[in-house]
Amino acid sequence: MADIDSGSEQPVPRKRADARRNEKALLDAAAAAFVTSGVDVPVRDIAVRAGVGVGTIYRHFPSRADLIVAVYRHQIEACAEAGPALLADSDTPHAALAQWIDLFVDFLVTKHGLAAALQSDDAAFQTLHAYFLDRLVPVCDQLLDAAVAADEIRPDLDAYGLLRGVGNLCIGAGNDPRYDARRLVDLLVAGLRVR
Partner DNA sequence: CCAACATACGGAACGTCGTTCCGGATGCCA
Partner DNA sequence: TGGCATCCGGAACGACGTTCCGTATGTTGG
Applying CB under 7 A, the residues found at the interface with DNA are 13-19, 22, 40-44, 51-56, 58-60, 62-64, 124
- Given a copy of itself, DNA, none, residue 149, with its beta carbon under 5 to 8 Å by kind, binds none
Q: Is 189 a residue that touches a copy of itself (CB under 8 A)? A: yes
Residue 143 Cβ vs a copy of itself, minimum distance, rounded to whole Å: 16
Q: Is 190 in the site for a copy of itself (CB under 8 A)?
A: yes
Site string for a copy of itself, 60-99 (x = CB under 8 A): ----------------------------------------
Contact between residue 26 and residue 60 where contact means Cβ atoms under 8 Å apart: yes
Q: Which does 17 bind (CB under 5 to 8 A by kind): DNA, a copy of itself, none?
A: DNA
- Is 116 a residue that touches a copy of itself (CB under 8 A)? yes
Task: Report yes or no: 39 and 107 within 8 Å, Cβ to Cβ.
Answer: no
177 binds a copy of itself (CB under 8 A): no
Nearer to DNA, 92 or 126 (CB): 126
Number of C-beta neighbours around residue 156 at 10 A: 8
42: partner contacted, choices a copy of itself, DNA, none (Cβ within 5-8 A by kind): DNA
* Number of residues near a copy of itself (by CB under 8 A): 30
Kindly tell me which of 15 and 183 has the beta carbon lying closer to DNA: 15
**Using H for helix, E for strand and C for coil, what is the string for the chain?**
CCCCCCCCCCCCCCCCHHHHHHHHHHHHHHHHHHHHHCCCCCHHHHHHHHCCCHHHHHHHCCCHHHHHHHHHHHHHHHHHHHHHHHHHHCCCHHHHHHHHHHHHHHHHHCCCCHHHHHHCCCHHHHHHHHHHHHHHHHHHHHHHHHHHHCCCECCCCCHHHHHHHHHHHCCCCCCCCCCCHHHHHHHHHHHHECC
| Category of 174 on φ-ψ map: left (φ > 0), alpha (ψ -120 to 50) or beta | left
Q: Which is nearer to a copy of itself, 77 or 158 (CB)?
A: 158
Ranges within 119-158 binding a copy of itself (CB under 8 A): 119-121, 156-158
- The smaller minimum CB distance to DNA, of residues 25 and 95, is found at 25
